[in-house]
Structures are given as structure tokens and as C-alpha cells.
Amino acid sequence: MTAYDVVVAGCGVAGLSAAVAAAEGGARVAVLERAPREERGGQSCYTEAYLRMKSHREVTDDFETHLAENGSGAIDPELVQEAARARGDRAAYARALSLADPDFISTFAENAGPTIAWLEGLGVRFDFLPTQFLTKSQPRLLPVGGGLALVEALARRAEGLGVAFHYETTAISLIQDEEGGVIGLNARRGGRALRLHGKVVLACGGFEGNAEMQTRYIGPRSVHLRPICKGGYFNRGEGIRMALDIGAAPCGDFGSYHAEPVDPRSGVSEPSVFIFPYGILVNKAGERFVDEAPGTVDAHYERVTRRIYEQRDGIAYVVLDAKHLSIPNYRLAIRTDQPPIAADTIAALAAKLDVPAVGLVSTVERYNAACVQGEWKPLELDGLATRDLQPPKSNWALPIDQAPFHAYPIMSANVFTFGGVKVDGSARVLDQDGEPIPGLYAAGEVIGLFWGTYTGATSVLKGLVFGRLAGQDIAGQRCNA
């Protein structure tokens, strides 16, 4: 057995943050990565890494409220009140409830700014850069260079601190002592088994790359989902499974995931299609099924995408006319590398989409008849809504009547899964009685947090913050041992 102070499973921003923070505190650290070195970093390398912050040091005004409002399922109000008490005063059953504890959320918010400052000290630059959202309700801070810049800066720092990297190595199971504490993990590299000793940080993502777990938790319709990028296929849920196997408390919505609208024809990373608020969405029968524009696209695209997922074969089409080409910077909302399906008439477009022409023509005619005159303001909520139409369209409702007509197919991508394990403010994994499991930590999407609706631009930030907290806590324990 190879001995370290801490063994980190996962080489995305969560795992690297834990590794660097622990190594900066003097700990001997090993990082396990399923991918080869040239593909290290998982999904972190492919994301633009939006951060829900209004400045370099402050989270947005709605940060804690939004997380709290979307941090649990249907739970007895008395239990919620019990969970809101100070952790030491809570009953054991409340310490392990599958909800986002208020102290967890406040710890998250309080440590976001210091974590950004720490990363700036590693050479990462942050700015409020253009996003793919033409309309938005919240500001988003971005690392210049996206998630890849975070991975490279953290990995460079880790290597400089002597962190040992084990590539093409998969964590399999946790090793416990006689009292149930975690003292290491079993891993596999090629056909060879490895045993690594040390405290463990599970930072190996959700289960969006595991068809069996998706079917078990999300349901059989998950065959109509795919990871948002190549890195997602490496996330197979081992970290979550390993923790649950030794009694960790679950948290988050295991039956749900973060949904994003993508072009199923494309193989590029995150081929998103956010232009749908300016057209209509139809299913394979050529029928509308959702309000395409209930509000700003950043705040509502997920719920619209979930409705797309519910349609036959998990597919819908956004139908647009030539007016969308006049929207300033409209290409920001279309990340697919595939061209639009174009035609000079709606009937011809239906033929190219293999959608019943009679159905699509009728749908467009009913929609056009429900549009009213008003001022169209494509870059802000304009309230230009349909009248006497079900489902309604609440904003940007202009007739679809100017050729050429364009369409993009859209499916739901699984950006990451919501279900995971419960941790405290130091990223220590809690057991079913709400007590920390000695020697076991979690960071990133191994931590369950979200229910129903994702609090946008918090996923990467969660990995960075709780990875750093895990590393700091381990290093502090080591120094005080």
C-alpha cells in the first residue's frame, strides 16, 4: 500500500482544488484520474465556467435564496425548521436530511470570494465576458480561458508542490479501519490493483456517463440524454456509490439532472441552441408544447429543455423566420457547428424535418394569428405575448412569416446529475445520522445539492469552493495531529 496524507479521486477543478489546498498546507497528496494525462480535467476542461457572482468578491444577491428555494424536495416543514437550527442543536435525523442545510449554503456563499482571490494568486484572470445568453437576469463572472484555464493553473501548481498524479487509474472502493473511518482506497490501473493509504477526497463527478445509474435513478427515458461534452463520459458515479456503500447520507435529487438544449447532430462540446425564445418549438407531430419565452433565457432554458425531453424521442425543433437574423449578436446563442435546416416555405421545412406538413403549417398559422402588434425588443423582456393561444408565448411573439425559414433540432443534454452525498461546511461526508465519516471528504458533483431547478453558474464554483475547503481541513488536521 502506497501511503499519502490524502488521496483525491478526480482531476477536475474540484479534485485539483482539494489537492492544491492540501499540498499548500504541507500534506503529501495523490490525485487519481481515469483519463490519460492529455485528457485530464473531465468536464471542467470543456466548460466556460460561469460563476454566479456580481463582483470578484461577492456572490449575486439571490445566491443563497435561490439555492435554498431549490435545495429540497417535499419535506415536512417542521423538519425543515429543525434543519435550520445550529448543527450541534439539531436532532440526528435532521442532520442527515436530504436537503441543502442553511449553514452549507452560507459557507458556500462566504467562501466564494476568497476562493476566487486564491485562484487569482495562482495566475487565473476573471472578467465579466460575453455569454451565450442574449437575455439574462444575473451577472456571471468567467475565468479568462474558461474551465481549461482553471485546470491548467491548478494542475501546474499541484505539480510544483510535488503532488503525485496517477493517470488512467480508476478508484473502485474505500478502505476502512475497524472503527469505520476511511483510511484509503482501492484502485485499478489497467489490469493491476492498487491500494493507496490516506484520507480520501471524492471529486470524480456525477453519473451522467453511466447508463445503468441514469436508468436506475432518472428513468428509462434517459436513453434520450447524452453528456454535454466528452468529459462527461468519464463520470460514472463511482465516488457516489463508494460513499453510499459505507453509509453516507444521500443528498440532492437523484432523479434529476441539469438540462441544457443542444443540437443532436453535433459532436462538438456543448453544441447549445439558445435561440428558441425567438421562434416556436414543435415536436415530431409539428405541435407546440411549451411557452418558449416565459422570461430571460438564462433563468428559464432549463425548464423549457425539460419539456423538450418529455417529447417523443426526446426531440423538438425550433422554427424561426428571417427576423431572427437581425437580432444583434444572435450567433452567440447558437453554439452548434451544424447549419440550420432551411426552406422557403413552412411546408417545405416540414418535409426536411420529417414532420407532418399539415400539422406544422396549421401550428404556425394558429400561432401567427395569436400574435399582436407591439414593440419587439429582442435583447430585453418585451412582454410581446400571444393572445388566446395555448400554450402561450410570453415574450418576443412575432409572426413567423418571412422567408427563409430556419430550424434546428434540439435535445436535452445531461450536463451533470443532481444526486450525491451530503457534506458539512468542511466538505466532510456525513453518515445517515449526520455525523462526519472520519477520513472521507467530497467536492464537486459528488456532493448532492440541487433539486428540480439548477441554480445557474454555481456548479464549477461549488467544486472550487468545497475542494479548497476539503484540502484545507485535511491539511489543518495533519498539522495539528
The arithmetic mean of pLDDT across residues 192-204, rounded, is: 97
85: pLDDT strictly greater than 70 = yes
Q: For 363-417, how does the pLDDT look when each residue is reduced to its tens digit (9 = 90+)? A: 999 999 999 999 999 999 999 999 999 999 999 999 999 999 999 999 999 999 9
In angstroms, the CA 112 to CA 114 distance is 6
Domain with CATH 3.90.700.10 in the chain: 261-413
Q: What is the reported pLDDT for 312? A: 97
> Where are the alpha helices (H) located in 292-345, listed in sequence order?
297-310
Residue count of the chain, please give it. 481
Average pLDDT value for residue range 272-287: 98
Identify the band that residue 76 occupies on the pLDDT scale cut at 50, 70 and 90. Answer: confident
73 CB neighbour count, 10 Å cutoff: 12
Please check whether residue 454 is in contact with residue 2, taking contact to mean a CB–CB distance below 8 angstroms: no
Residue 249 DSSP class: P
* pLDDT (tens digit per residue) in 439-470: 999 999 999 999 989 999 999 999 999 999 99
What is the average pLDDT across 22-33?
A: 98
CATH 3.50.50.60 domain residues, the chain: 2-256+418-480
Output the pLDDT for position 480.
44
CATH class of the 261-413 domain in this structure = alpha beta
DSSP secondary structure string for all residues of 363-432: HHHHHHHH-------TTS------SS-SS---S------SSSEEEEEEEEEEEEE--EE-B-TT-EEEBT
Whether residue 481 is predicted with pLDDT greater than 80 in this model: the reply is no
State yes or no: pLDDT of 109 exceeds 50: yes
Determine the Cα–Cα distance for residues 184 and 475; give it in Å rounded to an integer. Answer: 16
Domain 2-256+418-480 has CATH 3.90.230.10: no
Give tens-digit pLDDT for 137-162.
Answer: 999 999 999 999 999 999 999 999 99
Give the Å distances, CA to CA, from 23 to 4, 5, 18, 112: 11, 9, 8, 20
DSSP code string of 75-116: --HHHHHHHTS-GGGS-HHHHT-SS--HHHHHHHHHHHHHHH
Alpha-carbon gap, residue 287 to 367, rounded angstroms? 10
Say what the pLDDT of residue 467 is: 98
